[in-house]
Structure 1
Amino acid sequence: MEFITYTLPNGIRCILKQVKSAVVHCALTVNTGSRDELPGEYGMAHLVEHTLFKGTQRRKAWQVNCRLENMGGELNAYTTKEETVVHATTLRGDYAKAVELIADIVFRSTFPEHEVEKEKNVIFDEINLYKDSPTDRIYDEFEDRIFDGSSLGHNILGSKATLRRMHSEDIRRFVARTYTTDQMVFSLIGNLSEKAFRTVADRWFGGIPASQRAFGRTVHPAPEPFCHSVGRGTHQVHCMKGKRAYDLKDDRRLPLMLLMNTLGGPSANSLLNVLLREKNALSYSVEATYTPFTDSGVASIYFSCEKENASRCIELMDRQLGELAEHVLSPRRLSVAKRQFLGQLAISAENNESYMLGAAKSYLVFGDVDGFGEAKEKIEALDGETLRTVAEEIFTGMSALIYK
């Protein structure tokens, strides 16, 4: 069995992968992100993530920060539109300390007002940094427009004006409403027995009172296709084309992942990289991404180039998208695409931390995790006509956002 799973009486799900390693990675994944914020709370999920480290009932902020780092370990966290993840890495002998610390900051943080005010300034700097990066900014603004009116349609960082109005009591209310035990997964990967895993999970998470989420998530219908140009005073043109796509439980998710990887994945021989960079030397940066959510998704293509090359890049890209929508990939091209994708999955699985976090997300959404063998079977079963049908659906009627 690749994964060992069980559920605590309070609803927190636990998942273990045993590997031979001197290092242990562990995390608590909470099914709470920026899309769970109410109007007036935009930026709250990310603010909570920052202020979890600012003191608990047992520790001062400096004690939180030094607990693992003094032993050579690491403690960190991140926020997405749908999750907040607190994760730690330590030597095997220190894993219990990491689990206890995660439990302490998630369930016993006090969110001191003076620390909250200080951390707002850190986030203000993060917002300024983000605004100075058109590559990052165009992704967020495009999603804001694609999901306009939906809980998915606002920036994770929030705005300075909204953040200034947030205080400790607001944070505590948000945590009480969204950090419920039925929406949590504790995951660990390391050289640990099932008994040791259960012991540490029971000790530090088993005593947390059970709680259940009292609200659901909704997503509004997609807007009509749009094409917007925005003056940002950048040296280059930055272009994003895309469309709403399939959710995490849609059977078409996997063929779209394969298709987007072939079109503009990380490999140097992706179709768009070859077309725009290698053959025509028009763009240094081009990529295609697909982000699925629990009830929706977004497929997008990004490139940057000199202003005089923008029209040519768009023309070439549209032609390539049309070919994928109209013609089935050749057997050889399809075979290469599958092998390449499987190789990338296998290599990424060698990163134990990343693999653990991905497994936790899967267990949170599906209640199960596919091993590499199962994923391989599903990918190898895909056929060219399925990919063409998906390409026709996704690459038709795309929206565009251009920074110039």
Structure 2
Amino acid sequence: MEFYTHTLPNGIRCIHKRVKSAVSYCALTVGAGSRDELPGEQGIAHLTEHTLFKGTEHRKAYHINCRLENLGGELNAFTTKEETVVHATTLRGDFPKAAELIADLVFHSVFPTRELEKEKEVIVDEINSYKDSPSERIFDDFEELLFSGSPLGHNILGTKSAILRYGREDILRFAGRTYNTDQMIFSSIGNVSEKNFVRTVEKYLGGVGNRPRTFTREAPGAYVPFHKTVNRNTHQAHCIVGGRAYSINDPRRITLSLLTNLLGGPSANSLLNVALREKNGLSYSVEAGYSPLNDSGIFTIYFGTDRDKTDRCMEIVDRQLSQLKSTPLSARRLSMAKKQYLGQLAIAMESNEGYMLGAAKSYLVYGHVDEIGTVCRKIAAITREQIQEVANDLFTDTSVLLYK
């Protein structure tokens, strides 16, 4: 196994990969995101993440900001629908300092009211900025329709009125309920021995009390396809075609990942980029995406175009989807798609930080991290019949959201 593993008595699982590098990366991944918000808590997961940096039992906000930055390091965090992640980058010798700081933020934050009020305004500004970007906002609106009635449909940032309403006790209540030690992974990559890694995590994370999860996530309700046009008075038209997809535990997720990459991945020769941009000059930005979740998933095709070209773009997208459903890929096309995807994965793994965060997510969900050889074998085993089956399963009765 590429990662060394160690489980603390309080349930926190720790994984580490030793590499020759002057830089160390570490993170604490917490299985708590916007989908874990109760009614009336929309946006509180993200607000909690922001206010972790605003003061602990041992440090004020200024000292938190300076702790690693004065050493040339970095400290940051992000919130998703299912996780909150605090991560740091330091020189190798400062790894223990980064681990100690992350532990201090997650387990000893005091969420001071004065700092909380200032941070609310920062998030309101973030919400306003997001609303000015229709190419980003449309994804939130699409997911709200896709998971209507479920916390999975919540905008991670929340609403301005909700954010301004929350107080310190609300954050303490959310963190106390959802920051569970059996749903935490501490991960690191760097030139640190296994012995020093264990010593560090036991020193800074081992003394935390055991906080097991006492609730289960509610699965989203039934999905009803929709077609909706919203007048946003934008210069361009923005469109998403998509629907629900396979969960992170579904073996078909790998086939869908390959298919999504073939359809609208980052390469210039993706099917949709060639059809919409290269051949017809209809769109500057077109992409396909797939996000697996614990009990569901999201697949999307996004493009932006001139308003009078929207119908033409939709026709081309529909034609590409229909062809994938009706005609199996040639052996040569499938082989090329696999090589391209494997190459992209290998290059992505050269980013130690990205690799570490992906490994932490895998360990949180599966309890193990697949080696690259295992991943390659799974992708190599995909058949064109499996590609066609997934296309017919998911590209039928798709939903559409259009900004005009």
State the TM-score bracket (shorter-chain normalisation): over 0.9
1:209 aligns with 2:209: yes
Superposition pairs of residues 4-403 of structure 1, within 5 angstroms:
4-403=4-403
Give CA-to-partner distance per residue, 1:302-353, whole Å, 9 cap, x none: 0000011100000010000000011110000000000000000000000000
TM score, norm. by length of structure 1: 0.99
In structure 1, distance between residues paired with 2:142 and 2:103: 36
Q: Secondary structure at the match of 1:152?
A: helix
Q: Secondary structure at the match of 2:400?
A: strand
Q: Secondary structure at the match of 1:52?
A: helix
Give CA-to-partner distance per residue, 1:132-172, whole Å, 9 cap, x none: 00011000110010000112011000001111110011101
Q: Secondary structure at the match of 2:87?
A: strand
**Aligned length in residues:** 404
Q: Secondary structure at the match of 1:97?
A: helix
Unaligned segments of structure 2, at least 5 residues: none
Q: In structure 2, what residue type is equivalent to 1:280?
A: N
Give CA-to-partner distance per residue, 1:186-213, whole Å, 9 cap, x none: 0000011110000000000001000111
Tell me by how many angstroms 1:382 deviates. Answer: 0.4
TM score, norm. by length of structure 2: 0.99
Q: Secondary structure at the match of 2:344?
A: helix
Give CA-to-partner distance per residue, 1:90-132, whole Å, 9 cap, x none: 0001111000000001000000001000000000000000000
Q: Secondary structure at the match of 1:68?
A: helix
CA contact (8 A) 1:44 1:158 kept: yes
Tell me by how many angstroms 1:219 deviates. Answer: 2.0
CA contact (8 A) 1:222 1:244 kept: no
In structure 2, distance between residues paired with 1:388 and 1:25: 40
Name the stretch that deviates more: 353-362 or 221-230: 221-230
CA contact (8 A) 1:240 1:401 kept: yes
Ranges of 4+ aligned residues in structure 1 off by more than 3 Å? none
In structure 1, distance between residues paired with 2:380 and 2:18: 27
CA contact (8 A) 1:239 1:402 kept: yes
Unaligned segments of structure 1, at least 5 residues: none
In structure 1, distance between residues paired with 2:220 and 2:156: 18
Q: In structure 2, what residue type is equivalent to 1:204?
A: Y
Tell me by how many angstroms 1:292 deviates. Answer: 0.4
**Match of residue 2 from structure 2:** 2
Q: Secondary structure at the match of 1:369?
A: coil
